[in-house]
């Protein structure tokens, strides 16, 4: 894939990401099932600091959010390297689901207050987020079939509906809820 979709910045970044995964993250996996979660998160916080100091933090982030603004194709190759360690790679580089998608949504649509309160801490890895779309009435997560509504009242939205699964809920600081704001709009 590198030969076909490689770029000059990937020529620099990809070997560094692979080396970090190999040296710093893969060795953690041998004790994955025997280590308590608090200890795992402490170790991963140390690794995240190393990622930041090595200049590899926020590779997927838009430039205006402090990242490198990698294209989807470039990030796909980085993601493949991170996936060598399914438990630690994406989290350590702050690009795990649902945070990576929530960062993208917030960077495009957040108000100034939302940027300060939610986007910046998320980009810095200080908080985690969650994402609520799945509803019990519909199979899967089809955004064209949502029943949950959000009606604007002044500066707020009133949400009415029922979500079934919330990705990343445990330990998250906030939730992005998918809801219909204009029931007459085409899907």
Q: What pTM value is reported for the model?
A: 0.87
Residue span of the structural domain in which 20 resides: 2-95
Least Cα distance to 77 among 22, 16, 27, 25 occurs for: 16
Question: Final residue of a domain: which of 95, 125, 148?
Answer: 95
Q: What is the pLDDT of residues 58-99, one digit of tens each?
A: 898 888 888 889 999 999 999 999 999 987 999 999 999 999
The candidate with the shortest Cα–Cα distance to 51, out of 6, 86, 98, 95, is 95
pLDDT at residue 172 greater than cutoff 70:
yes
pLDDT of residue 125: 94
9 and 28 housed in the same domain: yes
Per-residue pLDDT reduced to its tens digit, 127-145: 999 999 999 887 677 888 8
Q: Are residues 15 and 72 in the same domain?
A: yes
Cα 34 from Cα 17, distance rounded (Å): 26
What confidence score (pLDDT) does residue 187 get?
76
| Model confidence band, residue 34 (pLDDT cutoffs 50, 70, 90) | confident
CA neighbor of 67 nearest in space, from 55, 76, 77: 55
Residue 73, Cα to own-chain centre: how many angstroms? 17
Question: What pLDDT does 13 receive?
Answer: 96
Instruction: Give the DSSP H/E element, type plus range, for residue 150.
Output: strand 149-153
6 in the same domain as 91: yes
**Mean pLDDT value of segment 9-34:** 93
- What are 171's two structure tokens? 């330990």
Q: 95 near 60, Cβ under 8 Å? A: yes
- How many domains would you assign to the chain? 2
- pLDDT recorded at residue 4: 58
């Amino acid at each position: 894939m590198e030969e076909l979709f490689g770029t000059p910045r990937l020529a620099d970044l990809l070997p560094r990401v692979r080396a970090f995964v190999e040296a710093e993250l893969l060795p953690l996996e041998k004790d994955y099932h025997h280590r308590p979660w608090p200890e795992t998160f402490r170790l991963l916080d140390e690794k995240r600091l190393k990622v930041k100091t090595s200049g590899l933090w926020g590779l997927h982030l838009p430039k205006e959010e402090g990242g490198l603004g990698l294209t989807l194709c470039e990030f796909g190759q980085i993601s493949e390297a991170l996936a060598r360690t399914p438990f630690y790679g994406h989290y350590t580089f702050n690009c795990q689901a649902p945070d990576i998608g929530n960062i993208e949504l917030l960077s495009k649509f957040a108000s100034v207050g939302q940027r300060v309160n939610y986007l910046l801490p998320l980009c810095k890895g200080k908080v985690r987020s969650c994402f609520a779309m799945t509803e019990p009435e519909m199979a899967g997560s089809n955004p064209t079939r949502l029943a949950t509504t959000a009606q604007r009242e002044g500066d707020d939205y009133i949400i009415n509906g029922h979500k079934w699964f919330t990705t990343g809920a445990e330990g998250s600081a906030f939730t992005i809820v998918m809801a219909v704001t204009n029931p007459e709009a085409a899907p």
